Amino acid sequence: MIDLIKQISECVEKHKDDAIQFLQQMIRIPSLSGQEENLSKFLMEKMHTLQYDSIKLDRLNNVMATIKGSGGGRSLLLNGHLDHVPPGEMLDPYSGRILDGAVFGVHGKIVYGRGASDMKGALAAMIMAGTVLKDLDLEVKGDLKIAAVVQEEIGGIGTIATIEESQFLGDLVVIGEATNMNLALGHRGGVGINVVVKGASGHASAPERSINALYKAIDIISKIKQDLIPKLPEHPIFGKTTLAVTRIEVKPNASNVIPEECRFYIDCRNGPDYPAERLKEEIETVINSLKENDKELEAIVLPSNLLRGVRSFTGFYTDPKTRPVVREVEEALNAVLNREVKKTVWRFATDGRFYHYLGYPVLGFGPCEERFTHTNMDHIRIEEYLDSIKAYANLACRICGLK
C-alpha cells in the first residue's frame, strides 16, 4: 500500500504543471447552465489524449468516459458537473489566474475563477486521476467511470439523463462537490414554496385608496423571520433546518402604481424532522395569525414540485453502519492524505440524491470549502487540487481492485 501511494504521489508530481494548466483551461471556458457544449468538447479531446478507453457525448452534452477494468471488480463512478453559476460582480471570472491564497485568507497558491470550487477543480482532478492509472500502468479489475454532467445548478438535469437514458452507473458513486477534503455521507433536503399576496392596485399618489400587496408581504416575511425561523429544528445528522426568502416581485411592476400582487419565494433546507408539508402548514399558520388583526390580508401558499412529489424529504444519508464501503473509502483517503478524514454532510443539495434514490451507495469527496462556492472568492488551493488527484486515483485502486 505504501509503495502504491508513493508511486501515485510521484506520478502526480510529474504531471503537476499539466494538471494545473488543464484546470486553468477549464476555468477559461465559460459554461453556464445550458451552455456547456464548448467545455464538453474540450474535455472529450483531453480524455482522448489521456487514453480513456471509452468516451461518449449525449444529446445534452454530458460527457461519460470510462477506463475499462479487466473484469471481476466493482465499478467506481466519479460524478462532477460542468456548469457554474453566473459570475455576477466577480472580477476576471474566467481568468484562471494563479494567486497567493492570502488574498482570501488561505494558505498557499490558488487557482482563481468562476467554477474553480464548484466544481471544475474536482472534475479536473477526477479526470487526471485516470491519467495516473494509465501512466503507472495500473490495471484495475472494475471500471473507473467519469460523469461530467451538465445543468446541475438548475436541478440535476444532466445527471438524470445519464442515469435514465445512458444507464451510466457504478457500484459506488462519489460526488466531487466541495467537502474541504473530508468525507460527505449525504446532505440536507431542499424544498421551496411561493407565497402570493393579493391587494388592490391604484395610483401611487393616493395610497389610501388601495391595498398595498408589498406591505402585506413584508408583514408576513417579518413574522416568519421573527417567529418561525428561531424555532426551526436541528437534526442530529443533518443539522439545523434553514429558511430564507430569496426572491420577491410585484405586479404591476411600475413605479407609480400600488402593487396589486406580491409574490415571494422561500428556500428551505431541511432534515427529515421538518418535512415539506410541515413547512407549508407553518407558513399558513403565520398568515392566519396575521389575518386575525388584518382583515384585508389575502395570501396563499403555492407548493413547488417538490411538495407535490412523492418525496417529502429530498436529502440522503449513506449510513456507515449499513454500508461497509464507507470504511473502505475512509481508509483509502486516510492513507493518501496521511490523516483521519472527518465524516460530514453537505449543507447544500447535490446530484448524489438521484443515485441514492435508486439504492446505490453515494459518498462525497472533493477539494475546496463550501464557504467559497458561488462567491466572488471562487478558487481552489493548488495543494488540495493535487492531493485530490492522488485521492481519487488511490480510491479507484481500492474500490475497483488492482489485478
In angstroms, the CA 403 to CA 395 distance is 15
Cα dihedral angle (183, 371, 276, 228), rounded to 10 degrees?
130
For 302, the grid coordinates are: 403555492
Q: Is the pLDDT of residue 271 over 60?
A: yes
CB atoms within 10 A of CB 78: 28
- Mean pLDDT along residues 359-376: 96
CATH number of 189-308: 3.30.70.360
Residue 306 confidence class, pLDDT cut points 50, 70, 90: very low
Average pLDDT over residues 283-308: 86
pLDDT score of 313 more than 90: no
Whether the predicted pLDDT of 311 surpasses 70: no
* pLDDT one-digit tens code per residue, 159-168: 999 999 999 9
Q: What is the pLDDT of residue 305?
A: 54
Is residue 23 a contact partner of residue 13, using CB atoms and an 8 Å limit? no
How far is the C-alpha of 162 from the C-alpha of 66, rounded, in Å? 13
Q: Render 251-279 in DSSP notation, one character per residue.
A: ES--TTEE-SEEEEEEEEEE-TTS-HHHH
As annotated, the residues of the chain forming the CATH 3.30.70.360 domain(s) are: 189-308
Q: How far apart are CA 59 and CA 241, in angstroms?
A: 37
Q: Answer whether residue 379 shows pLDDT above 80.
A: yes
pLDDT band at 1 (very low <50, low <70, confident <90, very high): low
pLDDT in tens, 175-225: 999 999 999 999 999 988 999 999 999 999 999 999 999 999 999 999 999
Tell me: pLDDT of 351 over 80.
Answer: yes
Q: Please report how many Cα atoms fall inside a 13 Å half-sphere around the Cα of residue 232, on the Cβ side.
A: 23
Nearest by Cα to 176 from 78, 106, 89, 267: 78
Q: Is the pLDDT reported for residue 308 higher than 80?
A: no
Beta strand ranges found along 176-274 (DSSP E): 183-187, 189-198, 202-203, 234-235, 239-240, 242-251, 257-258, 261-270
- Residues 53-92 pLDDT 10s: 999 999 999 999 999 999 999 999 999 999 999 999 999 9
Please name the residue that has the C-alpha cell 464538453: 40
Whether residue 307 has pLDDT greater than 60: no
Mean pLDDT of the chain: 95
Bridge partner list, 264 = 195, 248
> Average of pLDDT values for 362-385?
97
The CATH 3.40.630.10 domain(s) of the chain lie at: 2-187+315-400
Q: In the structure grid, which three cell numbers stand for residue 268, read together? A: 428551505
The mean pLDDT value for 296-318 works out to 77
Cβ–Cβ < 8 Å for 384, 367: yes
What are φ and ψ of residue 243, in 5° steps?
-145, 135
Residue 364 reports pLDDT greater than 90: yes
pLDDT for position 33: 97
Judged by DSSP in three states, 212 sits in coil
Cβ-Cβ contacts under 8 Å for 232 (sequence gap 6 or more): 240, 241, 242, 243, 274
Digit-coded pLDDT (tens) for 106-156: 999 999 999 999 999 999 999 999 999 999 999 999 999 999 999 999 989
Distance of CA 224 to the CA centre of its chain: 27
Q: What integer pLDDT is reported at residue 304 of this predicted model?
A: 65
Yes or no: say if 79 and 356 are a contact pair by the CB < 8 Å rule. Answer: no
Q: How would CATH label the architecture of 2-187+315-400?
A: 3-Layer(aba) Sandwich (3.40)
The pLDDT-based confidence of 276 (bands split at 50, 70, 90) is confident
pLDDT for the residue 365: 98
